[in-house]
Structure 1
């Protein structure tokens, strides 16, 4: 399998794991799964403020020198802020008797987490979700173990820092309760954030390539700053009756109404959205980007070359006229793929194995 799904050996430490939350302060779903596995978790949101500057004066001089060297090499957080946030992390590490520090994202909070690990003399792990952090190579080399989301991301990180200890985690989604869907509504579903037009413009162009009597109706769910702009572009392209911009919908709407659609269109190449659709038994079409190829297999969807509007138009038509028995089989294959490799429990199990390996290595170093 492309990730470490089955933990082996001890994976439940006695010392708590100090988890530094990402910049948005939201707790990743795998932490709840780790708790259910018996892991003691302490979370820290850096938005609450740094430690006072005076706390740095009480730090071990050698540890402070190592932390300062790393802080001044980073660009996503001013060195003074990185050191003060790191001091707060080190203080929390000691106060809770933690055994390791885990950065839950590769943003500026990871810089603070790695500074804190140096100040506390603690092992540190880093999880990379989308690879957009500044100075990522330095962060990778500074962590004791790095977790990549998906095989494509793992390859990118290995190219950036060949010598790192790297584990691959699956992209994971929450699975809605299984329910018998109502009758199909003869439309396609599309989720889009509308922060960018890069994904939806090819979809509108592909719809325009099809004869009017062969165009599917695509319900576009989502909101964002480009909502009105894209809706106007659909009108200008003559496809406003076939690209219906419905705005945002809550998760319970998706769980209830999603299974009634004929299939799912992933214009933004969001592998997470593709997995959510597959969990609802919807065949998926979208661009063949590396992330999409990680999750959408030939038995549960069809991927086309990115930017190839004629190919996307053919895929839209194919998905609309797919025979019902084939649609059902592809939907079942997609849900089985999610349940077999992309649940938060599977992701947490792989994470737990890597964290346990890091903790064991740290213990061995102390005993040496």
Structure 2
């Protein structure tokens, strides 16, 4: 089975989970070609991301001549297909985003289509339902292979109408939702008539990479926050919470790993609340460094306002560290009082109280939370299970004959594999 993964920007420091997903499929015998519309303009800090970047074929980024040649060839050899793509691009543009944007998507789709044909790609899978899914849809309408996409939220749900989500759902072979909440949003925005092609496949971890370091010692009171510094993740609330905790708990530190557009706002909040001795910004770190920081901490905090289902929560729980986070999107499907604390977004008082509970908890309580969290990740977020589900969906998508419901696709693929084994 030869498939392509298509991303808007890849790799980034926040797309480690996609790299792991691709690597798991490859380990299971699926040939995966990596395509992205553009490279990330910042330096990558993880060596595995750096290595993976060399395997990505970029549609843009110094490729003007290649795009022009692909367009001329398509106009000469497949003018009717190009007209179909042009008509669909105009239809998507009317929904929102404008003609220029969708003309660019059409040009990218023409170039991608040529690359897919050369490589013998049987199916394209995109992550997120925005730019990359639009390019995959246009390539499909011009005679390209079937496609699918994984929806995460939350931003893509805010622009669903303008992005033509219903059209993408209608033409997709299947759609992956990363949580029950995400599936509900897809049904609400795209229409319940597509329910049979939407499968919940939760993001996964290779648990062998996340070996628990044992419960934290009573004196260990570092709390880490990992993620892009941005308004959606709410890190600007942490200095106020740290100031409220001062003097009510033993000495502690809040360490923020990551960087982004909210850095200046967070630095100003640290100065305003006088907590430079309690809150520090560590910048981006490699995956091994992040794992080590979480394993060496008492807990992880992520006070988000808007999320899909943050991978770093899975990582902390897999390392048997409790988490403090918010009742946003798919997070309550993972986190409860058994493995941490979950509070309303934006409630500094509740956030402060939850952090106080964790900072005052005895090692036995923390250890019990950690065991519960790891067991939950093992049960619902094992990367091997995700790979098996995706492999089944992909096999059903490329198999000849009518499409089957997404929930039945893995079973169909397993039956086909068993039949092949029986004949061998």
Change (3 A) 1:147 1:59: farther
Q: What corresponds to 2:236 in structure 1?
A: 201
Name 1:20's counterpart in structure 2: 6
Over aligned residues, Cα RMSD in angstroms?
2.7
- Partner secondary structure for residue 19 of structure 1: strand
Any unmatched runs of 5+ in structure 2? 13-17, 36-57, 157-162, 404-424
1:55 aligns with 2:73: yes
Distance 1:78 1:197 in 2: 25
Structure 2 partner of 1:254 = 290
What are the equivalent positions in structure 2 for 1:1-368 lying under 5 Å apart? 13=1, 16-24=2-10, 28-44=19-35, 45-47=58-60, 49=63, 50=67, 52=69, 53-60=71-78, 62-75=80-93, 76=97, 78-133=101-156, 134-162=163-191, 163-164=193-194, 165-175=197-207, 176-178=209-211, 180=213, 184=217, 185-196=220-231, 199-210=234-245, 212-214=247-249, 216-268=252-304, 271-360=310-399, 363-365=400-402
Kept in 2: contact 1:30–1:345 (CA 8 A): no
Q: Distance in 2 between matches of 1:102 and 1:138?
A: 16
- Contact 1:173–1:342 (Cα < 8 Å) also in 2: yes
Residue 303 of structure 1: how far off its partner (Å): 0.3
**Aligned partners of 1:51 and 1:85 also within 8 Å:** no
Q: Distance in 2 between matches of 1:233 and 1:337?
A: 35
- State the match for 2:417 in structure 1: none
Deviation at 1:327, TM superposition (A): 0.7
Change over 3 Å in CA distance of 1:43–1:59 after alignment to 2: farther
What residue number does 1:9 align with? none
Asked whether the equivalents of residues 236 and 265 of structure 2 are also in contact (C-alpha less than 8 Å), the reply is: no
Shift of 1:177: 4.2
Please give the TM-score of this superposition, normalised by the length of structure 1: 0.85
Alpha-carbon distance, 1:25 to partner: 5.1
**1:168-221: CA deviations, max 9, x gaps?**
120234543425459632222222422338612332233333452337432222
Cα distance in 1 for partners of 2:279, 2:381 equals 30
Q: Take 1:57 and 1:102, find their aligned partners in 2: how far apart are those partners?
A: 26
Q: Deviations over 1:37-67 (max 9, x none)?
A: 1112233332353352212224545533432
1:171–1:28 Cα change, 3 Å: same
Distance 1:73 1:218, change over 3 A: same
SS at match of 1:74: helix
Given that residues 195 and 226 in structure 1 are in contact (C-alpha distance below 8 angstroms), is that contact kept between their aligned partners in structure 2? Answer: yes
Cα gap change, 1:261/1:365 in structure 2, threshold over 3 Å: closer, same or farther? closer
Contact residue 177 and residue 201 of structure 2 kept, 8 A? yes
In 1, Cα distance between equivalents of 2:227 and 2:6: 29
CA distance in 1, matches of 2:11, 2:269: 35
